[in-house]
Amino acid sequence: MKKVAIIGAGNVGSTAAFVLARKPYTITLVDVVPGIAEGKALDIQQSTAVFESPAKITGSMDYTAIKDAEVVIITAGVARKPGMTREDLLKINARIIGEVCSHIKIHCPNAIVIMVTNPLDAMCHVALKALGFPKERVMGMAGVLDTARLRTCIAQHLNVAVLDVHSTVLGNHGDAMVALPEHTMVGSVPLAELTSPETIHQMIQRTKNGGAEIVALLKTGSAYYAPGAAAAVMAQAILEDSKRILPVCAYLEGTYGIQNIYVGVPVLLGRKGVEQIIKLSLGRETLQELLASAQQTASLLKSL
């Protein structure tokens, strides 16, 4: 069976494992906290009997368990705490990701890596450098999640099926993300024909604040169902070579005039990883927003 390794068995990692467990995959959870990977793996394994899946799920503290994984999802790292700057978070998680990548290089050197750890765009750069893999095999999960949040906002506002809402979100995973209302369709109808510019703006702002809105409601903790599902969808697209076009944090080398920076863009995702960058026609203002988003990531990297 195809093998997926998930580094970090917290809420996001275990949710990704749970979603993938409906498929005929071998799934390995690894975590440094004693018992957490093993316990969650056992719980998920027992759930496969309920939905009659042949998946095999194991958990371990030992990185040798990831041997020969075809896809590795990295969720390991610390969450941003009150008083912690993005630069503080970057430096702490960069050390963690560097350690994780050293094990990936040894045990599954041919794997495709999906980064989930924040600050996500910068962590992709850290992983790319630490792994030394081709850029096509190192990517980040952000656009799938951010686009799902935007599609949900639109569907709820218009009272339509979310399946009929087609949109995408570019840029980094944060305040500088770039929504594309001009490329958004509801069924075969442009979004602009169904609601006002003011309402579209409000929906985009809610998308940008999507994570913070959930944190405020939960009081403790942050979102994990949608992030975990988004990472799982990306992994499945790679494992099944399904050639899906999804918004992914990918390494750009000239697209939109952006050089050597990880930025969220639509890509063709398949067995080789990022198989093609899909370039959209963007208006001048939208392009400037995307360039500013890339610059934000570049500025953050300077602190390393």
The 10s digit of each residue's pLDDT in 278-301 is 999 999 999 999 999 999 999 988
Partners of residue 3 on adjacent β-strands: 26
Instruction: Output the pLDDT for position 219.
Output: 86
Instruction: Output the pLDDT for position 87.
Output: 75
Helices (H), 25-65: 36-50
The 10s digit of each residue's pLDDT in 34-61 is 999 999 999 999 999 999 999 999 999 9
304 vs 213: which has the higher pLDDT = 213
d(CA 239, CA 300) in angstroms, rounded, equals 32
Dihedral of alpha carbons 179, 180, 181, 187, sign: negative
For Cα atoms 44, 49, 53, give the angle at the middle one, nearest 5 degrees: 85
CB contact at 8 A, 269 and 249: no
Burial of 282 (0-12, 13-18, 19+ CB in 10 A): middle
pLDDT above 90: percentage of residues in the chain: 89
Confidence of residue 84 (pLDDT cuts 50, 70, 90): low
CB contact at 8 A, 48 and 21: yes
Instruction: Output the pLDDT for position 33.
Output: 97
Architecture per CATH, 2-140: 3-Layer(aba) Sandwich (3.40)
pTM: 0.96
Q: Residues 11-16: what's their mean pLDDT?
A: 98
Residue 97 has pLDDT above 80, yes or no: yes
CB contact at 8 A, 138 and 115: yes
Q: Where are the domains of the chain?
A: 2-140, 143-302
Give every strand in the sheet of 244-253, ordered side by side: 56-60, 25-30, 2-7, 71-74, 112-115, 138-140, 244-253, 259-270, 273-277
Q: Residues 213-227: what's their mean pLDDT?
A: 91
Q: Residues 227-245: what's their mean pLDDT?
A: 98
The 10s digit of each residue's pLDDT in 153-180 is 999 999 999 999 999 999 988 788 999 9
d(CA 57, CA 198) in angstroms, rounded, equals 47
CB contact at 8 A, 6 and 29: yes
Instruction: Output the pLDDT for position 280.
Output: 96
Residue 80 has pLDDT above 80, yes or no: no
Q: Is 173 tagged catalytic?
A: yes
Instruction: Output the pLDDT for position 178.
Output: 96
Instruction: Output the pLDDT for position 82.
Output: 65
Dihedral of CA atoms 128, 129, 130, 134 in degrees, nearest 10, equals: 50
Q: What is the mean pLDDT of the chain?
A: 95
CATH of 143-302, one of 3.40.33.10, 3.40.50.970, 3.90.1300.10, 3.90.110.10: 3.90.110.10
For 20-57, letters b (16+ CB in 10 Å) and e give bbebebbbbbbbeeeebbbbbbeebbeebeeeebebbb
Instruction: Name the active-site residue from 107, 125, 157, 173.
Output: 173
